[in-house]
Structure 1
Amino acid sequence: MSVDHSGTSEVNKSDSAPLFARAAAAASRAEVRLAGVIDDYFRSEEDRLDDRTRTATAAMLRATVQTIAQDLSARASDHLGDHLGRFCTTTPPRDVGAAALVHRLRESGLLRDRALMAELFAQVRQDHLSAALLARGAAGATPWLHDLAGSPDRALAGAARAYLDAESLRRSGRVADLPDMLRERLIWWVAAALRERWAVAAPSRTAVDRAITKAAQRSMSAQNDQDRSDVAADRLAAALGRAPAALPDHLIRALEEGHLLLFITLLSQALALDDREVRALVLDVHGEGLWLALRAADLDRVAIARIGLLLADADPRRDIETLADMLDAIAQVAPDEAMDSLALLALPAEFRSAVRALDNAVMR
C-alpha cells in the first residue's frame, strides 16, 4: 500500500523556510565580514583605527544617544499628557537603553555618516591627547586658567570660568560636543529609532508622531550655547586675543595644562581659520601643517620647538627628531608664505569640501 507524503512534504518545506533564510543571511554576512577583514589586513597601521579610539568613540556615541533619547522621551510624554494611555499600548520609556538604539541606527546605515563619525573620532583623539598632556604637565606649575578666572579683568575672568565649567561638564558626561547641524541630524535619527520602539495603536500613530516631532524641535531649540565647550573656548580665546603679543605664551600654557581645545581655538582665531581644520592639523602626528600654521602666526623657533616637544611627550607616535632636523627650515619660512600655504583652509567649508572632492577625483 502506497503512502501519500505530499502533505508532509509541504509542511516540512514551510517549517524549514525560516531556517534556509537564516542560513542564506549568515552566508551573506560571512562574505561581508571576510571582505572587511581583508580590507583591514592590507590597511597600514597608521590608517587603522586603534582599539582605544574605537572603544572611546563607541562610549561617547552611546552617551550622546542616551542623553538625546531621554530628553526626547520626557518631552514627548509630557506633550501627550493624559492622552498617553489612549495613544500608546506601551509607555514611552524615559530610561532608554542606548546600546539598543545605537545598534538599530548602526544596522540601518545611518551612522555611516562621514561628517558625524569624523567629528566623534576627532573629539575622542583630542580628549586622549589632552589627558596625556595634562598627565605630563609640569609638577607644581601655577594653574594658569584658574588664575585667569580670578583676574580683575571681569570679562576675562568670566570667560575663563565659563570655559572651565563647560569643559568639566563635558568631560564628566563623556557626551559629544556636536555642532548644531550634526546634533540636529542625530536628534532626528534617535527620534525615528524611538518611534519604532513605541507600540502605538494604528489610528493614533499621527498623534504620537506629532508628539515626537515637537519633542525633537524643542530639544533642538533648547540647546544652550553657554554649556558648549567650543563656544566657551571661542569667548575665552577672544578675550585673550586682546594681547596678540602674548599668543605664543598662551598657546604653550594651554598645552601645559592639557587644554588642547583652547590651544586649537587660540590658533584658529589668530589665523582666522576654521577651528576644525586647525584641529586636524594639531591631531596629525606628522605635524608639517601645524608647524606652518605656527609660523603663519609668527611664532619663533623656540616657541615652535617647545610646542613640538610638549606634543611629542604626550604622543609617542610623533617624531621629535624629525622636527629638530626641520626647525631651522621652519623658522626661515616667512609668516605670509606660511599663510599662503594654508589658503585652502580659509575657504568656506562647503567650497573647501568641493575643491577637495575634485582634487581627490583627479588623483584617482
Structure 2
Amino acid sequence: MENISDLFLSQDGRLTEHQRMLMTDILHKLIADLETVVRGELATLLMEGGSAPPELLRLLANEQIEIARPILEKSTLLRDVDLIEIVHNRSEEHRLTIAMRARVSEQVSDALIEEGGADVIETLLKNPDAKLSGEGMEYLVAESRRVDRFQEPLLSRHDLPSELAHRMFWWVSAALRRRVLVDFSSVDPTGLDRMLQDATRRAIASHEPGDSVAERSVRLVARLSESGQLTIGFLKCSLRQQHLSVFVAGLGRLSGVNATTVWRIFRDKGGESFAVLCRSMDMSRNDFASLFLTLAEARGGQHVRPTSFLKEILDLYDAISVANARAALTYWQRDDAFQQALDDVGDVG
C-alpha cells in the first residue's frame, strides 16, 4: 500500500493518466482488504497528497470515523450529495465531523438538522462557515424554546434575521434578552406597513363585540387622551388602584401598541419587555423607574425584585436606543399570532 500510494501521490509525473486510472482501481480493490490502521494511514496520505481521485475519497469517507475523519474534515472534493448520503446513513460522529467543516452548504445543514442530535446542531450553529436555510433557521429558533443550548449560538450568528431574534426574546434568559435588544434592531422598511397592518387586524379581531371592561377602558383613555389628562401619573394611579385594564389601555394609547402586545408585556415578569415599551415612547429615565416600581408593587409585594435588579433594568433602559425599542415592538406586534400558538401548545403540554 505504501509503495502504491508513493507512486500514486508523487508529483514528478512518473505516472501517465492511464496509469493513474489503473492505480486508482488497484487501491479501490485493496481498501476493503486492508487493516483499519492501514486504511486510516491511506486516508491521511490521500488528504495530504491533494491529488486523490474523488471516488477513493468517497469510499474512505464512508468508513468508520477513525478513517473517515480527516477526509470529512478537510476534503473539498466531496460533493454535497456525498456528504448528505453520509449524514443520512452513517454515525452521529460522522455528522458531528461534517458539522465542523470549513464550508457547509444549506442543503447539507438541512440534512444535519434533520438527522443530527443536539450536539451536532449546536456544533453546526457555532460554525460561522455553515450556511443555514431560512426554513432551517426558523425551525431551530422554534426548537430553542425547549432546547436552551441552541439559544446563545443562534443569537451569536451573523445571519440570524432580526425578526427571529425578537421572536426568541420571550423565552431566552435575561442576559440573552439584553443581547437581542441591543444587537438586533433593523426593520425592513418595505415590510413595515404590512407588519403594522397585520398587527392592527389582529388587535381588532381580539376584541369581541359588547360592552366589556376592556372596551370601557379603551373609551375612557381615549377621552382622557383627547383632554390631555392621559399621563404617566394617571397610569401609576391606575396600577395602584388595580385597574389593570385601564392601565393596559392607557399604555397602549400612549405607545401606539396594540392591546394584545401590551397584555403580553404586562404578564412578562422579567421586566425587559416593559423597558422596551417605555423606551419606545422616549420616556424619561425617572418616569420609567417610578412606573416600573409601581408595576412591581401591583403584581404583588412578595414578587418585588431586589434593588440590584432595578439597577440592571435601568442599565438596560439606558443601553437600548429608541430606534431599537420601536423595532422590537414592530416585530412583536407582527408576531403575536405565532407567540399565541406557542402558548397554546405549552398550555396543552
User: Whose helix fraction is larger, Structure 1's or Structure 2's?
Assistant: 1
Normalising by structure 2, report the TM-score: 0.34
Q: Larger RCO: Structure 1 or Structure 2 (Cα < 8 Å, ≥ 6 residues apart)?
A: 1
Normalising by structure 1, report the TM-score: 0.33
Q: Larger C-alpha radius of gyration, 1 or 2? A: 2
